[in-house]
Amino acid sequence: MPFRDAWTPEKYLKRVIRCSVRAGEKPPLLPEESLEIGPGDGTLLVCDAHVSGRGDYLGYLYRDGWTGGNPPRTRWAYEGDFPMDLGEADPDYLEEMYRRTHRIPLYERTTKRCLLRETSETDLDAFYEIYRDPSVTAYMEDLFPEREREEAYTASYRENIYEIYGFGIWTVIRRDTREIIGRAGISFRPGYEDPELGFVIGARWQKKGYAFEVCSEILTGARERGFDRVLALVQPDNAPSRALCEKLGMGPAGEVTEDGRTFVKYVFDFGAPM
């Protein structure tokens, strides 16, 4: 995880506790001796739930300062064994759980000039400014007119996309100025098996190579995640996006119709010869 401060397991966790629950059951409350959690300490409760028949575990990271009752927590399933020795716990995994609990977005990828991180509600001011330009919304869906609906969508996206899939459409940030300049990432479109590349760069930062730089890194990340192909659906008259897809090495693979609109389907095949 890039740009993380120096990390030790004790920075976030005081103890790891293991228990067993059946799929669909709620986890037990923490033992009595775990009720006093000091600043900077937390307790990770790992439940062997055997969900999906894969021997998964459910991780619960309890917030700092919990004093009993129904504890606030974050949870997601992962596959494989979990180290019960706190000193052997994976720093990236525990860092993720801590950030998930406290709603701190994760930084995902870096390029020479940009950072890619998960979107948070604090990004919306910049997004509304970017989306005010008609050239941005000419070929993509606009934000909700009501700020409250967009905030709710962002929160839902964090919980149902980032926390479950570990990827999605991320916020693009300039490293030198920390300005938010757009959004980019991969996501699944209903009806397609391969993830779709999506990107938008604000008008002020277009024609500077940011889209190519960021999307190249996103494709690298998709390959590292084990995807065989990535697709992009581009409207036929969207010349800049079509040119970008071709520059990235994506080839046209016919046309498709979605919601009454025609798109050129571009595909990047990681197994194809370059």
Q: What is the CATH number of the domain that holds 142?
A: 3.40.630.30
Strands 229-234 vs 261-269: parallel, antiparallel or unpaired:
antiparallel
Same domain, 86 and 114: no
Determine, yes or no, domain membership for 1: no
Computed over every residue of the chain, the mean pLDDT equals 77
Same domain, 220 and 253: yes
pLDDT reported for residue 69: 46
Q: What residue type is assigned to position 224 of the chain?
A: E
Same domain, 30 and 82: yes
pLDDT > 60? residue 57:
no
pLDDT reported for residue 94: 61
Identify which has the larger pLDDT, 159 or 36: 159
C-alpha distances in Å from residue 257, one per residue of 6, 186, 252, 265? 49, 20, 15, 10
Identify which has the larger pLDDT, 21 or 100: 100
* Tokens describing residue 77: 């399933």
pLDDT reported for residue 166: 86
Same domain, 222 and 87: no
Lowest-confidence pick of 26-40, 184-198, 229-243 = 26-40
pLDDT > 80? residue 19:
no
Same domain, 69 and 176: no
pLDDT reported for residue 53: 47
pLDDT reported for residue 113: 96
Q: At CA 187, angle to CA 210 and CA 255, rounded to 5?
A: 85
Same domain, 75 and 201: no
- Residue where a domain terminates, one of 83, 101, 119: 101
Question: Nearest Cα to 149, choosing from 133, 128, 168?
Answer: 128
Instruction: Supply the DSSP string of 191-248, one letter for each residue.
Output: T-SS-EEEEEE-GGGTTSSHHHHHHHHHHHHHHHTT-SEEEEEE-TT-HHHHHHHHHT
Same domain, 170 and 258: yes
Determine, yes or no, domain membership for 63: yes
Same domain, 93 and 120: no
Residues 73-92: pLDDT tens digits? 444 444 445 444 545 556 56
Q: What range does the domain containing 76 cover?
A: 9-101
State how far the Cα of 157 lies from the Cα of 168, in Å rounded to an integer. 9
Tally of domains in the chain: 2
Q: What is the distance between the terminal CA atoms of the chain, rounded to a whole angstrom?
A: 30
Same domain, 60 and 88: yes
Residues 188-197: pLDDT tens digits? 999 999 999 9
Q: Determine the average pLDDT of the residues in 151-169.
A: 90
Residue 58, SS3 per DSSP: strand
pLDDT > 80? residue 216:
yes
* Tokens describing residue 235: 């409207």
pLDDT reported for residue 78: 43
Same domain, 124 and 86: no
Same domain, 112 and 186: yes
Contacts (Cβ under 8 Å, ≥6 apart) of 75: 58, 59, 60
Determine, yes or no, domain membership for 228: yes
- Residue where a domain terminates, one of 46, 69, 101: 101
The percentage of the chain sitting over the pLDDT mark of 70, rounded to a whole number, equals 62
Q: Determine the average pLDDT of the residues in 139-164.
A: 91
pLDDT reported for residue 61: 56
pLDDT reported for residue 67: 47
Same domain, 236 and 133: yes
Q: Determine the average pLDDT of the residues in 40-46.
A: 55
pTM: 0.74
- Residue where a domain terminates, one of 78, 101, 124: 101
Determine, yes or no, domain membership for 166: yes
